[in-house]
Structure 1
């Protein structure tokens, strides 16, 4: 008999009772007590211990801070899951406000600790870091010292933290709620259906071009209707960031995201420079695919369309079995982990309306589990989304044995394990295929991801840079946002995409993630980094899994340049590193062009 897997997740194992969970309320109360204790004497205790070189006390406080951070993360993840599964959950929305207040108070304390560290004399600081017992905290302490807002007073730091809750972060939550409330009417198979935004977006890979086109224009019509509202949200989010950057004396809008991603500006510039040099073959791929569909250029609503009529749909149970079978060839831990995720109800995959449109993976570091959220409709793209999010979950699993403060890895590395996991499934699918049509189908899906990372993500990066610059002069109108988006897409795609969605700034959720400005380039970094790791994994075989786990465990305790040098022996500020990854993608283009010559 075929094994069955639950398509709805189990959140009660984390906190029983959903938005009315008494267990979760007790968790919040404990957090409030811990924050109160930290606010009362934590920083004073820290200052006193530093001055007296009582390092055991410093270590104790750092463990307390780590404990609070992990428990806040646990709470935030639970609320995120509740609201994603039911955006109208008022209890969860109310709890979100409570946790946001706790988070704000916690960040105030961390800001004070950072300020203390920044005021320590350099020679004293070097001595402190060499003391036994603090070696595991060396990276994070140096990072905090460098990040300190030394030019802001305590009153200004407090004001910024307060404004984040009901101003800055509230706009991000409002965006999610707004998108989740939208119903999109699309005719599918002769019947008009009221779909969620996520379900409508999933139709971009529908086999019928008329359905793809109708879904595309139905969404564009909604975005046009609500453009004023969305532009206000985006203007307020970025306007707030600009004010805070100015207060903190940051030199440009990239300083904060580079800090958060633990990346040098030189690395980012080199990456985009190399990608820009090698875009032409990907334009050629888009042109060839358009020709095969009877068009002179690639229509944006056809980009995700299947390249062949080959039936590639796979139900959820078959997808789970396929994933488990092929990750087992990489390593025993990954296989065991994926089995647990499917068997224990870690995945919310049901295809139903009134869900959030955005797939994600939520980490529960205290419980030691993760939860994956998506809408699974049976396409090969859904299989890839599923393994992508499970890759994130495996990264969380790898971090379970890591010291509390070192569990938090940057977004630049966050997309590595997810992309790596996708490559396992791509490789398996290619090996399983016997027919040219199937091979073309899989190659097309691989190349879509190359185009997304080298062209689409680049367009997001260009748009965000240009929008920031104009926002410094005041509110930017929806009309101008559309123009900026169109210009950025045309430049990034080198005019190889026809009828692009000028409302990409509306429906791309990453622009509205308040915790992560410029959440675009980490995808491209993670994509190319993962390709390099996967190439090494194929060389070494199943024995590579332990090396891979060590790399993931180090991801929270060093910058990306050092991480890549330590585990791959590569300098990522050099063009050669990026060219190696792109060369693998260029081979896919060559094979695609060769297979479609006739």
Structure 2
């Protein structure tokens, strides 16, 4: 029987035929514009004070909003996919501008709706929200009402929305385009190669240390060369955000991201407190790995180095088989989902020029599909990246039956699903590992994730906090940004990282995301949360998949504290919850030290082999 070859290039034509020249998509945009106009007409037909008899009218408005959310997601995902598969696609860039205009008009109407809700008297609101028409939207509508700024007029709020579309968000798009246009000359095994940023970053897991170092240094040189430009972009984004905060009464830079993630400050404080108390085991891991490599301390360009080549050079078809097999053991829903994703070409994995640098998952809620974007280079790390994005896609799959307004879940929970998928692969791979060498490789990859979440993400969080405090005073220079980054890395890594990339403020795209500030701590939340969920899954076995799907479906209609209490029965504002997840990670670090002391490791030019 001939072995199946899985397609490495995704199929976008069954979403909208014709790519960036799609006439079908142009018609779709026109229909979306009409939908926003219909919402505007509907909003004009109502005005407070409401009565409970008008709940049906409000329900119609909410349903319009949900439908527009879904349609905008479909449109933006399509354009994002076009621009990522070919960063030079000018037609796609033009389409983005058209959709951004429609989105701006929609945001104005949404703002008007939120103002109507905020202007409703409390006693009447309490009656309205309990009507059968609105009860299903209770959490989101209360959130809109509570988060609406009552001190701004509609005109002022609409002006801010206009400026965001044409200025603020444009800086974010410019950053993406700039990074995607950069080419890097890297010497790989004696040959100079011209690579995209994404391809150069992929070399961080290359077996040969000299190649990893060459790539690191080449990227650092590029960032240094362009640091002034990137500093301007970052300062403009932060400056605009702070100005909006000032006008809307936001007192702390954490206030908005915490609200967006539906999380209490006590939760994030408890999480970071536990992490700060448990840095030493991960510092020991880094030091031990550096020792194996032959260095006195862990150099940043060696962090992703493979400790051996036992499960390297994985072909794409092998990766598909591995993922399908392990996901299938978890449950029938996940098995059917992953089969559909690969069979129907939802994955863009080809390694080629002019692709964007950053992996992602795009949701297409109208067709009940997702698309996963990555550059597959044949390493176990690439497999894990693919699995991570498939986790996001499974979350989208779980939300298929949820209405448009309640589909919008916070990032913290989104990262839970993606990390949970990684845990499935780690667990299954560890069980199948027959040699100590294989176990060491798998354990090393798990610990890399712990270090990323407990140290790297912490450094991003510290940097962003301090940068915004200084930005309140004025423009922060490129030199000062580099200093702040270096200080944050040294603190977060407990001094255990040598030659860190102090230009990570340039190449970390999360700082430049305009729709969501502090795009960092939710990763750590999701990581530790997923460990708790995975432990529950192992306890319950086959019965757990149903509970897991229910948790994902609820993720758009309650706070994370309520979500965890409902499905896990624990209080995440207490350190006790976070300590349980941390215990698993600390055991991994201890096992790594133990395993490397019983296995002789020999350094070779192609990596590390157990003797």
| Structure 2 counterparts to residues 529-568 of structure 1, below 5 A | 529-568=529-568
| SS of equivalent to 1:97 | helix
Counterparts of 2:287 and 2:144, CA distance in 1:
48
| SS of equivalent to 1:557 | coil
Runs of 5+ unmatched residues, structure 1: none
Aligned to 2:399: 399
Please tell me whether residue 30 in structure 1 is matched to residue 23 in structure 2.
no
C-alpha displacement of 1:311: 4.5
C-alpha displacement of 1:542: 1.8
| Structure 2 counterparts to residues 431-446 of structure 1, below 5 A | 431-446=431-446
TM-score (norm 1): 0.99
Please tell me whether residue 243 in structure 1 is matched to residue 243 in structure 2.
yes
Counterparts of 1:279 and 1:250, CA distance in 2:
33
Aligned to 1:255: 255
| SS of equivalent to 1:501 | coil
| SS of equivalent to 2:502 | coil
| SS of equivalent to 2:198 | helix
| SS of equivalent to 1:400 | coil
Please tell me whether residue 337 in structure 1 is matched to residue 334 in structure 2.
no
Please tell me whether residue 17 in structure 1 is matched to residue 1 in structure 2.
no
Aligned to 2:7: 6
| SS of equivalent to 1:597 | helix
Give the number of equivalent residue pairs.
Answer: 597
Runs of 5+ unmatched residues, structure 2: 599-611
Counterparts of 2:418 and 2:46, CA distance in 1:
38
Aligned to 1:351: 351
- After superposition, give the CA deviation of every residue in 1:527-569 in whole Å (9 maximum; x if it has no partner): 0111000000011112210000000000000000000000000
Q: Would you say the 8 A contact 1:49–1:57 is kept in 2?
A: no
- After superposition, give the CA deviation of every residue in 1:441-493 in whole Å (9 maximum; x if it has no partner): 11000000000000000000000000000001111000000000000000000
Q: Would you say the 8 A contact 1:180–1:357 is kept in 2?
A: yes
Aligned to 1:225: 225
| SS of equivalent to 2:384 | helix
| Structure 2 counterparts to residues 300-319 of structure 1, below 5 A | 300-319=300-319
C-alpha displacement of 1:52: 5.9
Aligned to 1:421: 421
Q: Would you say the 8 A contact 1:111–1:149 is kept in 2?
A: no
> Which 4+ residue blocks in structure 1 deviate beyond 4 angstroms?
none
Aligned to 1:283: 283
| SS of equivalent to 2:414 | helix
Q: Would you say the 8 A contact 2:67–2:404 is kept in 1?
A: yes
| Structure 2 counterparts to residues 354-365 of structure 1, below 5 A | 354-365=354-365
Aligned to 1:75: 75
Out of 308-317 and 280-289, give the one that drifted further.
308-317
C-alpha displacement of 1:42: 2.4
| SS of equivalent to 1:50 | coil
C-alpha displacement of 1:278: 0.7
| Structure 2 counterparts to residues 126-525 of structure 1, below 5 A | 126-525=126-525
Counterparts of 1:52 and 1:359, CA distance in 2:
47
- After superposition, give the CA deviation of every residue in 1:108-132 in whole Å (9 maximum; x if it has no partner): 1111111111121111111111112
Counterparts of 1:566 and 1:8, CA distance in 2:
40
Q: CA RMSD in A?
A: 1.0
Q: Would you say the 8 A contact 2:184–2:200 is kept in 1?
A: yes
C-alpha displacement of 1:48: 5.8
- After superposition, give the CA deviation of every residue in 1:372-397 in whole Å (9 maximum; x if it has no partner): 00000110000000010000000000
Q: Would you say the 8 A contact 1:50–1:58 is kept in 2?
A: no
| SS of equivalent to 2:400 | helix
Q: Would you say the 8 A contact 2:237–2:512 is kept in 1?
A: yes
